[in-house]
Amino acid sequence: MNPVDQLLRDELNHLLDRISTSVPGQSLAQVTASLPTLRARLDETDARLAALREALLEVYGTWGKALDDLENLWALAAWKQDEETPVAA
């Protein structure tokens, strides 16, 4: 698990902890029965959150690849520099 994935999981776990203490003794079915439009809004927001999580993880993967590319370019530059440095006899 990469650091961004761990951070997102931790934040979601903290959110669930806060939610579980703010609606004591009630289930989702009970709450949505009394507020019919709430279920659709919850589903929509949950889907948006999942899409944003996926996008963040994808961008973080791209970030990691760019870091690798930069490291490889610096290694190539160092190798070329060593190759061009004359060897003293």
Average pLDDT, consecutive stretches of 10 residues, N- to C-terminus, the chain (89 residues): 94 91 76 86 95 96 96 94 74
Three-state secondary structure readout of the chain = CCHHHHHHHHHHHHHHHHHHHHCCCCCHHHHHHHCHHHHHHHHHHHHHHHHHHHHHHHHHHHHHHHHHHHHHHHHHHHHHHHHHCCCCC
In the chain, domain spans: 3-7+26-82
Say what the pLDDT of residue 1 is: 83
Say what the pLDDT of residue 24 is: 64
